[in-house]
Structures are given as structure tokens and as C-alpha cells.
């Protein structure tokens, strides 16, 4: 019998938690609920969820803080839940490491679809990273930069850089086609897939996070092309 995928729901509104629990249990997920940030962090450690549904408006430690703490140690996919629908709130959530953002009130079918989409992308990343050693390594090398998509690692200036799978895939895709310009829509299609429910700001946020971890080099740079998209520029 296959193990069920585990979902952690973090919301102080028990009515919402119970409702989400009902939806996901019907879809054969194993579900655990937490009502505040502290208990959520404990659950991440001991329950080891495959995905976290994280409300932003929590008592004490808010959802942004919880997300920040989780990202210090774990790459577990996070979908933020919030009644705040402003662009600023969405971008902030993505910048902190969330994988998706759902605005309350939400439709149950949309919630389940987004959960499955994020889990599917994560499983695809994991299966790629666990490819057998007999498979030719997918990697690109530049001076002071090695991006290995086979084992999902990035080495910059001789040191291993911790990056979530989607950041590595995006960086690899651009670096594998130096000086070629890609639109945000093309990058969404290639990295997140056609089924992704999101917008082009997702690309901008991931590029920003990559740039925070690796700086432009004298021989190469991750460059914005105004009004179009991005390219990995070699000099």
C-alpha cells in the first residue's frame, strides 16, 4: 500500500481548517492541522509534511515569519492562504519562499487543484534529481559557477549554494542557452509547465532570489531585457 502524501494546514480559524481537512482527506491525503506559528514549526519537524497550507493572519508569529523560519531549514512546498489580494502581499509571500498564493474565500476544487499541481512539480523535480549515475549529468559550467541539474546543486565561487528546485531549474535553463532572450511566459511554460496557475511575477520573484545568492561575474551575468524577459549573458 502506498504511503499517503501529507499536508499540514496552518490556520487559527478551526472552521476553515476543518473544511480544508475534509476536502483533502476525500482526495486521500493525510492531514494535520496547526493553529499558530509555534505549533506549525513543531509539526514541520515531526510530521514532515509534503506540502504546507499556510494562513498569513496567525496569532503571535504571522504567516510571513513562519514561512521565513521554515525556509531556513526546509524546502517543503508552501501555499499561502490570505484574504489579502494586493500584488504587494503576493510578491512578498513569493519572495519569502512560498510556491503559490491563494486568496480567501477560495473554491474547494481550485484549492485541491493547486495542491496537486505544486506536489506534481515537486515530485518531478525530485525524480529528476534522483536519476541514476549512469545517466549523463545535466550541468553547465562557467568560471566560478557550476549548475548541476542531475543532482540539483549549484556551486558558486567554490561554495555550494542552497537553492530550491525551481530556482535551480530556472538558472540552469537560462545558463544552458547563453545570450538567448526568453520571455517571462516562455520561462513559465518551460519551468512551471502549462498547467501552472500563476502569473509572470513568479518568474521575477525567482530571478530576484537567484540574484541575491549569486552576483554578476566579470564573464557572465543574469540580465534583464527591458520589456521582454531575461537572459544569461556571457562576456
Spatial distance between the Cα atoms of 81 and 128, rounded to a whole number of angstroms: 29
Residues 6+ apart with CB under 8 A from 131: 150
From 220, 198, 131, select the one nearest 211 (Cα to Cα): 220
Pairing of strands 100-103, 145-148: unpaired
Architecture of the structural domain at 6-129: 3-Layer(aba) Sandwich (3.40)
Residues of the chain with pLDDT under 50: 1, 128-136
The distance from CA 187 to its chain's CA centroid, rounded to whole angstroms, is 15
**How many CB atoms are closer than 10 A to CB 13?**
14
Q: Give the cell for residue 158.
A: 567554490
Q: Where are the alpha helices (DSSP H) in the chain?
A: 14-26, 37-47, 63-71, 87-95, 108-129, 165-175, 184-187, 201-213
Residues 6+ apart with CB under 8 A from 201: 87, 90, 91, 94
Residues of the chain with CATH 3.40.50.2300: 6-129
Q: Give the cell for residue 115.
A: 495542491
Q: Which CATH number fits domain 139-234: 3.40.50.970, 1.10.10.10, 3.40.50.1100, 1.10.260.40?
A: 1.10.10.10
Residues of the chain with CATH 1.10.10.10: 139-234
| pLDDT value for 44 | 93
Amino acid at each position: 500500500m502506498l504511503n499517503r502524501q501529507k499536508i499540514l494546514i496552518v490556520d487559527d480559524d478551526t472552521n476553515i481548517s476543518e473544511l480544508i481537512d475534509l476536502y483533502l482527506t476525500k482526495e486521500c491525503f493525510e492531514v494535520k492541522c496547526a493553529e499558530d506559528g509555534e505549533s506549525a514549526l513543531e509539526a514541520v519537524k515531526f510530521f514532515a509534511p509534503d506540502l504546507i497550507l499556510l494562513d498569513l493572519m496567525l496569532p503571535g508569529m504571522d504567516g510571513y515569519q513562519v514561512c521565513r523560519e521554515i525556509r531556513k531549514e526546509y524546502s517543503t512546498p508552501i501555499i499561502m492562504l490570505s484574504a489579502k489580494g494586493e500584488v504587494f502581499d503576493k510578491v512578498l509571500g513569493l519572495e519569502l519562499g512560498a510556491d503559490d498564493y491563494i486568496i480567501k474565500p477560495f473554491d474547494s476544487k481550485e484549492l485541491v487543484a493547486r495542491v496537486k499541481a505544486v506536489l506534481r512539480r515537486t515530485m518531478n523535480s525530485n525524480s529528476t534529481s534522483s536519476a541514476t549515475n549512469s545517466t549523463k549529468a545535466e550541468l553547465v559550467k562557467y568560471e566560478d559557477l557550476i549548475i548541476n541539474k542531475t543532482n540539483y546543486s549549484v556551486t558558486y565561487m567554490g561554495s555550494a549554494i542552497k537553492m530550491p528546485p525551481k530556482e535551480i531549474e530556472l538558472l540552469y535553463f537560462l545558463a544552458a542557452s547563453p545570450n538567448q532572450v526568453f520571455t517571462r511566459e516562455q520561462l513559465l511554460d518551460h519551468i512551471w509547465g502549462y498547467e501552472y496557475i500563476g502569473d509572470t511575477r513568479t518568474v521575477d520573484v525567482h530571478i530576484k532570489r537567484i540574484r541575491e545568492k549569486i552576483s554578476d561575474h566579470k564573464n557572465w551575468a543574469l540580465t534583464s531585457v527591458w520589456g521582454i524577459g531575461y537572459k544569461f549573458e556571457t562576456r
